Amino acid sequence: MTRRAGTVLGLGLALVAAAHASAQSPPPPGGRGPSPLPGPPPTHADIDYAPAEPAGSNGHKLDLYIPSGATGRLPIVIWTGGSAWLADTGKRTAPGIAAQLNPAGYAVAGVSIRSSTQVQFPGQLHDIKAAIRWLRANASRYGLDPDRIGIMGDSSGGWTTATAALTGDVPEMEGTVGTTGPSSRVQAAIAFYPPTNFLTMDAWAVQKCGPPRCHDDVTSPESRLVGCAIQGCPEKVQAANPLRYVSAADPPMMILHGGSDPLVPHNQGEQLYMALNKACLDAVFVSLPKAGHGPWSGFLTDDAIREGATRRSTSAAGCAVTNPALFTPSWRTVIDFLDQHLKGDSRVVK
C-alpha cells in the first residue's frame, strides 16, 4: 500500500468512527473533546495498575483522588468514562466525580482501560478487573478499604461498570492482566446509559438508522469491540452482554438512562434493570424522558434534562418493588445510594 493510500484509508476509518461517537460526551481517540468538569488534581497520578499494552498507551493507568485530611480506611469509587470503546482515556473525566465524592468521604479512582483498537473483548473487562484487584491489593498503602469498592461509568463506561459488577463471581471472565489473586468483586455500581444487549440496539433506536451509523454495521463501536459484525457472531456478542451474568451474588446497582438517547436506546438500560428485577436483586432505575446521550453530569444537575424523570426500584428483601414515580435525580441520589451500600447507612431510604 502506498503512503497516500494508507493515509486515505486511515482518514476514512477515522471518519466512520467519528460518525458513531460524535454525540458522546467523552473524548475520542487522542484525548480531545469536551473538557472534563472541574475538580481537584489527582493525589496520585498515572499509576500503572498493569504494564502498558501496547507500549506507550494509557489503557492501564489510574489516578487516585484522596480527600484531604482523611483518616481511617476510606471506601473507594472507581470512575471510568465512556468513548464508544474508541479511546484509552477513561480516567480523564474523573475530576468532576472527585469534586463531589471526596467531600462525602469517598476516595475516587479514575481508571482507563484499553480501546477496541488496542484489544478486543474481553480485554476491556480484564482491564477493569485488573484495576479493581490492584486497588484491593494496595488498599493499605493508600488508606483505602478493600471491602468497600463501588464503580461508576457512562456509556461504554456504563457497560464496563455493569459488566464488571455482574462478573465478580465468574472466574472464566477474570483474565490475567496485572495483579492476580485478590477478588475483582465490587459492592455497588452506578451505570449511566449503558449499552447492554447489542443485538437489539437498532431495533429499539429512537429513529431508523442508516449505515454506517447502525449498531449492526461492521464498523460500529459494538462490532469493533467484539471483532465482527454483531448480527453475524451472536455467541461472541452475548459473551459481552452483562445481562448474561446476572446472579444472586451481584451487588446493588443503579441505572440512569435517557428516554431520548439517540445512540444507546433507553431500552438497553431498562433491559438491565428488568434482569436485576427478575433476579430479586437490589436495583434502581432512573428514567429521564427528555435526556439524550448525556452529559452524565446533566442527569444530576440540569432541570431541563431532569424534567419528568421517574424512579423505580427492586429490593432483595422479599423482592419488593416500587413502581415508577416522579423523581428528580441529583448528586444526593448518588451519594445516598453509595452511603447505603458502601457505608451501611440504614438511614438512607431505598
Give the model confidence (pLDDT) of 203-225 as tens digits. 999 999 988 889 999 999 999 99
Give the chain's radius of gyration (CA, Å). 19
Domain residue extents for the chain: 3-342
Strand-pair partners of 64: 44, 109
pLDDT surpassing 60 at residue 326 = yes
Give the model confidence (pLDDT) of 110-119 as tens digits. 999 999 999 9
pLDDT surpassing 50 at residue 146 = yes
What is the C-alpha separation between 102 and 79, in angstroms, rounded? 13
Q: What integer pLDDT is reported at residue 34 of this predicted model? A: 56
CB-based contact 192:299 (threshold 8 Å): yes
Q: What integer pLDDT is reported at residue 348 of this predicted model? A: 41
Give the model confidence (pLDDT) of 50-95 as tens digits. 999 999 999 999 999 999 988 899 999 999 999 999 999 999 999 9
When pLDDT is averaged across residues 172-182 and rounded to a whole number, the result is 97
Fold category of 3-342 in CATH: Rossmann fold (3.40.50)
List all residues 6 or more positions away from 313 whose beta carbon is below 8 Å from its beta carbon: 282, 283, 284, 285, 321, 322, 350
Joined together, the cell numbers standing for residue 305 give: 434534562
What is the C-alpha separation between 252 and 187, in angstroms, rounded? 7
When pLDDT is averaged across residues 123-136 and rounded to a whole number, the result is 98
When pLDDT is averaged across residues 176-182 and rounded to a whole number, the result is 97
| Cα dihedral: 335, 251, 115, 220 (round 10) | -100
List all residues 6 or more positions away from 349 whose beta carbon is below 8 Å from its beta carbon: 336
Strand pairing class (188-192; 253-258): parallel
